[in-house]
Amino acid sequence: MIEVIDLSKKKDNLPNPFNEQPIGEFLKSIDSFFQDAFRNFHFGTAFPVHQYETNNNYIIEAQLPGIKKEQIILDIYGNQIRISVQNAEVIEEKNDIQHSFRSTRSYHKAERIVLLPFHVSEREVKASYRDGLLKIVVPNKKRTIEIE
């Protein structure tokens, strides 16, 4: 008679070299590095941007959850608006028991460029940021030409 053993239920009984010293600690430190580096930066290199037009304005909305207003930079170049988000972080850990000190520095930047169908004057642009939503309002320069 053949006996079938379900190994998924016996995980604790099997030796795993990846959990043993020194490999286990090394893999945990690598995992910790990547978890810490991207912990507060939720959207990688791009973030959602929604654009729409009203009768008087061109509206751009960017979803930036977890970002502080001080981390957002808006630049205007002709008919382009660049939305940049920068996050620089330093995490320091001191362990008196093991007499060790660990310092992790990370810098993240994500940006989107929005093209508009007209030249933008920075004096006319208004921007607000509330509850993770950046709202940029650009007066619409469209005009109707009367035909004679």
139: preceding bond cis by omega (within 30 degrees)? no
Helices then strands, counting H and E runs in the chain, come out as 1, 7
Q: Exposed, middle or buried by CB within 10 Å (0-12, 13-18, 19+), for 120?
A: buried
pLDDT tens for each residue of 82-98: 999 988 888 888 888 87
Residue spans of the domains in the chain: they are: 44-139
Q: 100-145, pLDDT tens digit by residue?
A: 888 888 888 889 999 988 888 889 999 999 999 999 999 987 677 8
CATH 2.60.40.790 fits 44-139, yes or no: yes
Could you tell me which residues are beta bridge partners of residue 43? none
